[in-house]
Each structure stands twice: as C-alpha cells, then as structure tokens.
Amino acid sequence: MVDEVLLDAGVVTRCRRRVHLDNDPTMVGTPLAPPDPSAEQRIADAEAHRIDVSERLQAATAPISGDEDPAALDVTSADSAGAAWAVIPADLSPADRAGLTLTALEEGVAYIWGGLLPRDREAGRRGGIQLLVRTVDGYVPVLVVRHRITDPGEGARTTELTDLDPGNASTDPDRKVRSHPRDQLRLAHTYRLLQAAGFAEPDRAIGGVIGLDADVVLWHDLEAGTWPGGRTALEEYDSRFADRLAVARAAAAGEEPLAEPSRILECKGCPWWSTCEAELTRVRDVSLVVRGEDAMELRRAGIATVDKLAALDIHDEPPIQWTGVSFSDAVSLAKAWLADLTMVRRVPEVTVPRGDVEVDIDMESFGDSGAYLWGCLLNGADIGVEHGYHSFATWEPLPTDDEARSFAAFWAWLTDVRRRTAAAGLQFRAYCYNALAENRWLYASAERFAGLPGVPSAAEVRAFVDSDEWVDLFRSVSDQFLCSHGKGLKVVAPVAGFAWRDSEAGGEASMRWYRDAVGMDGAEPDVAQRSRLLRYNEDDVLATYALRLWISERAMTEVPFMDDL
C-alpha cells in the first residue's frame, strides 16, 4: 500500500530518481551494481569508530544506580529501569529493536545507544540514531560520524566528549563548524521521529554530533536560520522529505514518475547507475555532457538531447544562464560526445612547461590519517642522481610518527635534485596531477612534524608550491582540453597511450591494499600488497610522464580543435 511507504534519513540527500527506483515495485529483481569494496570498508571503519566512541562514553558515565559495569547494560528485555545506559542489540529484528527502544524511552534511561525509533506511518518516516540522550524535558539525538566536524576558528557550540548535556554547551574559541549539511538533516529526521513518539524536547530542536577526532560534541540548533535564504535545518529537512515522500509514493502506486533520470555526481557510486545510464544513452540525454542545474535548465528550454545542444550556434544568445561549463564549451562537449571523442582541444596550440631536469610526483594517503608514500620519477639531464622511480614510504599503520621519517627522506631527495639542477645552471620542473592532494599533505606534514629531523618548514613548502617549478598537470589539461568523459588521470592518460599494469588500479582499491599491506585489521602485514602499492604508485607517475610528453609532442595532431568539430 502507498500508505506503507516509509523512508529513512538518507533520502533527503539522495537522488530523487534513486528514491523512485528504490520504491518502484516493477524494479524488484533488477540487477544492481555490486557494493563497492572500498565503500563497504568505509562503512566497517565507521562502525568500528562508533563502537570505540560508545565504549569510551559508557566507561566515562557512571550508572544512575547499582554497581553494574555500564558497558554491560545491554537491554534485551523490559528491565532497564534505573539504568544509565541501554544498548540496543543491532542483530535483533527491526520490530524488536524499536520495542526495546520504546521501553527505554518510557523508563527514562539516560543514554540509549543504537536505538531504532517507532515508525511514524502517517508521516512516512522510519529510522534511528547512534545515541539518544535524556534531558530534563525529553530526549535529544546525537550522531556519531567518521569525518571531521570542526575546523580551526571560533563560534562552534561544543561540550567535552563525555559531557552529553546540550545545556552545558558554550561557544568554542578554537573551533568553527565544518559544513556537513547531511549531519544536520539526519538530526532533523530523528527529531521528527522523537516528536511523533512524544519524547522530543518541546521547546527546542537541538542535536549533537561526535566526529572523527571524538574530542568534543558539536551541538546544532536545528531552528537557527543558518541555511541559505535564512532557512533552518528543520525547514530544509521538511521540504526535502516531503518531496522525496511524494516521489516514493508515486513510484509505489505506479503513478506517473515525479523524478526522471539525470546524470549527477552521485551516479558514480549508485547501484542503479547501469539502469539510468542505459535510459539516458537511449534518449541521448543532455546530462550526459552537462550536469546538474545546467541540464535541468536546458531541458526546460527545450534542449533535452545532446544532439540539440551540439546543433546550437555558440555565437547566438546562450539559451540559459550557465552555472558549470561555458556555453561554447558545452556545445563542444556535445559535439565531442557525438563523435565519441574523449578529448578535444580548447585552444589552437597546446603546451606544457618543460625543464632540463624533470620529476613526476604522486602521493598516496589513507583517508585523513596521513600520507604513507611519496613516489618520484626522475628524467632529463644527468645531475648525478639515478634516473627512474624512487619511493619514500612508511609501512607502519597510520597515524604514525614514522611518517615524519619518510616525508623527510622524500623532501631531502627532492631538495638535493633541485639543488644539483640549479648548480648545473639547468631548469627544474616537478609535476603532479591535481595539486590539491599533494599540496594538502605537503603543508600538513610540515605542520604536524614541525621541528623533527629533516622536516621542512611551512615557509619552505610554500616557496616550492608557489614557484614555477611546481606544475599541476591537471590544470594544464583543464585549461587546454575539453574532456567528454571526465578529467581524471585514469581517463585522460589512456588517450596518451598509457595503461596501468594492475587491472584494479584506482584510489579506492589502493585503500584496501594498504590495509592489508600494514596489517591494519590485526592480520600479518602482506608484503605482496606493499609491492602492489609501489607498482601502482610508479604507474601513476609514469602516467603523468606519458601524458605530458604526449601533450608536448603528439596532442596537436591527435586531438581535434573544438572549432573544427
């Protein structure tokens, strides 16, 4: 029945078409993309983080009465009166979990971990949250996430980690809120469920978040006008949820779909992508070459297909106000897509800065934990340093102080190459593909390990990054080429004839290999995976080398100019 459509908090940040497909009974049994192993690992890491936070909180919070070990207060029956903690077992059925959560709420348990709230069938809502905290007037939700929730600054409202009373929150002089809209929307969803069950605080809507560092609780006022246009988190949530509920109910009832497929960034990891891609390709949808709001506006203007976009004259008035690529670039991308071209030239002549001595650099990191490997490929004039691939790695699980040693060794080698090049009166260039990643860890490593042997100062790093010696090849590609299938190195390097030796090569896969390489999950370190990572990193620098040689020597003859399409 349509009335039985029940949605969780995730729908408010999910693609509307995905919500339709998830609730369309005619799509049951449709083959879906298999779960991404890296995504599954991130889920497992997040769960491990939550378990750690739970144990720390329980150990620091004394029971209201009795001498029980607070970590052992699992609720498996309605006997939790007077307990400080109720831990709802995750392996029970949803009905049993919701029943135990309701019992704990009714008995006034101070802290409820892993609760699943009663379903709000009238509003079409279901879900739970990591922690519910009892206050004087009701309960407030606390979300536990594995990302950083604050940045250096001021203005965030926080309490110490073990102080779960939002009434004690104060303005933090050292932290500002890092933007994570999804966190606030999840808190708003839980607040509405608490309201429906009769356990929400009546006079305020507030929720807490414990992040990756797990050192404070960040408190969000869900009724503060901090969203665009002065909207509150609750207003934003209510609007989005009402929309997604309408989409889901229409799908469940077999009515005219309220959401049609359109390619967006979320498509990359969506289990329904193959279904949507087939439909978009069949109708030659314009979102295959321009995304987001531009694609929506083009459809409204009657330009729904790649063919119609490609047929426009770039000298005419643009049909919409563009938010992404320019009008001329969009038309050229459409023409490239029709011609099955991965790249076209945006400029009559393409170049890339070259040096007498050249080093291609690629860094491998593990999430926010650190950079464990710096790989360098040396080519060019003979300056007394062996040409070829050089690696600087730590195989101690991150975070580790041994990262300072490997980073210092990398910097010492790079500095020596630069010094020798200058002494010979030659030009030095270093290259990477998308400097945002390398720059992040150059600066972060200098700051984290400041004062340790061989670690450069932030000023030394800045002088290098800001110099003409440091070349971002991604910028060269972006400025000089249009890429109809994306600008990632794994997409554009094959155009230059390069192929990775490992068929699974990719950033997500390397995360799995790294865990095995260092024995992160308690297993013996896998030396073979270390070799695999080194080979992958070497291929990445070989790819940038091949790409810039191709730009310098062959791109002019192998890639058509967009004005000639």
Q: Coil, helix or strand for 334?
A: helix
Report the pLDDT averaged over residues 115-142.
96
Q: Residue 72 pLDDT > 60, yes or no?
A: no
Give CA torsion, residues 452, 453, 457, 463, to 10 deg: -150
d(CA 407, CA 410): 5
Stretch (H or E) spanning 150: strand 150-152
d(CA 102, CA 116): 8
Q: Residue 73 pLDDT > 60, yes or no?
A: no
Contact 429, 552 (CB under 8 A): no
Range scoring the smallest mean pLDDT among 33-37, 313-317, 498-502, 549-553: 33-37
Residues 6+ apart with CB under 8 A from 377: 359, 360, 361, 388, 389, 390, 538, 541, 542, 544, 545
Q: Which two tokens stand for residue 347?
A: 């400029």
Q: What integer pLDDT is reported at residue 484 of this predicted model?
A: 83
Q: What are the tens digits of pLDDT across the range 96-119?
A: 999 999 999 999 999 999 999 999
Residues 6+ apart with CB under 8 A from 543: 433, 489, 493, 498, 500
How many whole angstroms from its chain centre is CA 338?
31
d(CA 498, CA 31): 32
Contact 155, 176 (CB under 8 A): yes
Q: What are the tens digits of pLDDT across the range 339-382?
A: 888 899 999 999 999 999 999 999 999 887 899 999 999 999 99
Report the pLDDT averaged over residues 481-498.
91
Backbone angles phi, psi at 159, to 5 degrees: -130, 165
Q: What integer pLDDT is reported at residue 38 of this predicted model?
A: 66
d(CA 157, CA 399): 28
d(CA 214, CA 160): 9
How many whole angstroms from its chain centre is CA 137?
37
Chain position carrying tokens 């932290």: 175
Domain 357-562, CATH among 1.10.1740.10, 3.30.70.1150, 2.10.109.10, 3.30.420.10: 3.30.420.10
Closest CA to 430 of 443, 413, 447, 448: 413
How many whole angstroms from its chain centre is CA 440?
16
Q: What is the pTM of this model?
A: 0.79
Per DSSP bridges, beta strands 206-210 and 139-144 are parallel
d(CA 484, CA 401): 43
Q: What integer pLDDT is reported at residue 76 of this predicted model?
A: 39
Q: Residue 11 pLDDT > 90, yes or no?
A: yes
Compute CA distances 470 → 41, 384, 406, 433, 462, whole Å. 34, 21, 21, 11, 11
Compute CA distances 258 → 15, 20, 102, 242, whole Å. 12, 8, 35, 12
d(CA 496, CA 476): 14
Range scoring the smallest mean pLDDT among 233-242, 321-330, 450-459: 321-330
d(CA 417, CA 482): 34
Range scoring the smallest mean pLDDT among 68-72, 169-173, 390-394: 68-72
Q: What integer pLDDT is reported at residue 68 of this predicted model?
A: 42
In whole numbers, what is the pLDDT of the chain averaged over residues?
91
Residue 148 identity:
R
The residue ranges of DSSP E strands in 396-492, in sequence order, are: 428-432, 470-472, 481-483
Which parts of 92-179 fold into alpha helices (H)? 94-106
Q: Write the burial class of residue 334 (CB in 10 Å: 0-12 exposed, 13-18 middle, 19+ buried).
A: buried
Q: Which two tokens stand for residue 116?
A: 């699943």
d(CA 476, CA 268): 25
Q: Residue 16 pLDDT > 90, yes or no?
A: yes
Q: Which two tokens stand for residue 377?
A: 């490929």
Q: What are the tens digits of pLDDT across the range 150-169?
A: 988 999 999 999 999 999 99
Contact 345, 559 (CB under 8 A): yes
d(CA 379, CA 385): 10
pLDDT category at 506 given cuts 50, 70, 90 is confident
Q: What integer pLDDT is reported at residue 503 of this predicted model?
A: 87
Q: What are the tens digits of pLDDT across the range 23-57?
A: 999 999 999 888 776 677 778 888 989 999 999 99
Contact 138, 191 (CB under 8 A): no
Chain position carrying tokens 């949530």: 237
Range scoring the smallest mean pLDDT among 25-39, 75-89, 389-403, 415-429: 75-89
Report the pLDDT averaged over residues 444-473.
96
What is the residue extent of each domain of the chain? Answer: 36-235, 284-338, 357-562
DSSP 418: H
